[in-house]
A and B are shown apart, each in its own frame.
Chain A
Amino acid sequence: MSAGEERLRDLLVHGLAGEAPAYHAFLKELSRHLRAFLKKRLAGLPDDVEDLVQESLLAVHNQRHTYDPGQPLTPWVHAIARYKLVDFLRRRGGREMLTESLEEAEIHFFSHAETDAAEARRDVAKLLDQLPDRQRLPIMHVKLQGLSVLEAARLTGMSESAIKVGVHRGLKALAAKIRKPG
């Protein structure tokens, strides 16, 4: 395992244990590696790279409970990024647009990083607006305004567990919306 991967794995493991700053650092760094990975493989579709970076980040977040700390990080992240990339290309009906083999990509996943974020075309904030209130409000208060679950519950009149469920299901619904073209 490379030193970079080791460090990222540590950040993720701490993040999974509930340490928000570690998790934030993990996602931030991961987004750079995702961008490099996707940019290289979507050379013909530069405008879609940032959309797919965001879609992959959301996927990693929603599926983070499937990471086993005993497992190396690279194959896990690579499998998710690859799955989202192939799914995206299938939706577009253009698997042939893959400019680089996916099989050899795994070992190099964490050796490339790309900091320059282009504008995403699909605005996640707009997709958020399409969610029903029981999901939109918890995400708005807890995840965008940074309120605690208790505060969000008081403000909305929802129960604390409804807030938690709303955040969880809302992010899943967001991931489903992000997959739809348009």
Chain B
Amino acid sequence: MKTEDLVTMLATGEGAVEQNAAARRYTTAIGWGAFGATLLMAVFLGVRADLAAAALLPMFWAKMVFSCALAAASTIAALCLARPGARLARVKMALAAPILAMWLLAAFTLAGAPRELWPDMFFGRTWASCPLLIAMLSFPTFVAAAWAMKGLAPTRLRLAGAAIGLLAGTVGAVVYCLHCPELAAPFVGTWYLFGMLIPTSAGALLGPWLLRW
């Protein structure tokens, strides 16, 4: 088939293209992912018994806002990386800001506490399980976001894979907040981040293979 004929074929019989396709796909993916994560959390982990009391503590909300801000930033990253030629400069800022804010809060918390409490604030009681549980809760979003990305046009596959992994990790973390008993900023700034980075690394590893088109 000659190129001219291919052009004619492609241009024939096409209606209007749906607008904001990327945003729609990600909305669907995040919706299903969060639903799946909540289900997993409710069945295997359970909502923390004192959630109503915890919801009165500022640190509970700081943790929630931290996770939600990173979820929003990684959604923007995934949207940008799904579109050929889009720039990423602002995305980096949006990703760095919540992390720096949490680390700053952690530094202040540690500075204001006696030294013998530091290990407690850093390790809590659940440091060993927290990252793995966040990674587990990220799984539904990982699958859904990979589906969303695959229907778009990522051209930097490793980064695009990392972005959907991070998105999955942050959604997992938001849901994990409802179960997690820890409230110290040094803990959140370390182990939550570590948990999010597990699916991020998986995404970066799998991206070139998973997202090719």
Total chain B interface residues with beta-carbon distance under 8 A: 30
User: Which of B1, B17, B85, B153 meets A123, CB within 8 Å?
Assistant: B1
Q: Does A57 contact B (CB under 8 A)?
A: yes
With both beta carbons as reference points, the residue of chain A lying nearest to B22 in the complex is identified as A66
**Chain A residues near B47 (CB-CB < 8 A):** none
Residues of B within 8 A of A (CB): 1-4, 6-18, 21-22, 82-87, 152-153, 155, 212-213
Residues of A within 8 A of B (CB): 15-18, 20, 23-24, 27-28, 31, 35, 50, 53-54, 57-59, 61, 63-68, 71, 74-80, 82-83, 87, 117, 119-120, 123-125, 139, 142-144, 146-149, 167, 171, 175-176
* Extra inter-chain contacts (11) besides given A139-B9, A167-B13, CB under 8 Å: A17-B16, A18-B17, A20-B13, A28-B7, A31-B7, A67-B83, A71-B85, A77-B85, A120-B2, A146-B12, A148-B13
Interface of chain B, helix or strand or loop or mixed?
Answer: loop
**If the complex has contacts A50-B3, A124-B1, are A142 and B12 also in contact, measured as CB distance less than 8 A?**
yes
**Chain A residues near B3 (CB-CB < 8 A):** 31, 35, 50, 53-54, 57, 117, 120
User: Which of B1, B10, B14, B16 meets A125, CB within 8 Å?
Assistant: B1
- Distance of B210 from chain A, by nearest CB (Å): 15
- Distance of B184 from chain A, by nearest CB (Å): 42
Tell me whether B1 and A76 are in contact (CB under 8 A).
Answer: no
Query: Nearest 8 pairs between A and B by C-beta?
Result: A75-B85, A79-B84, A18-B16, A24-B11, A79-B85, A63-B153, A83-B155, A65-B21
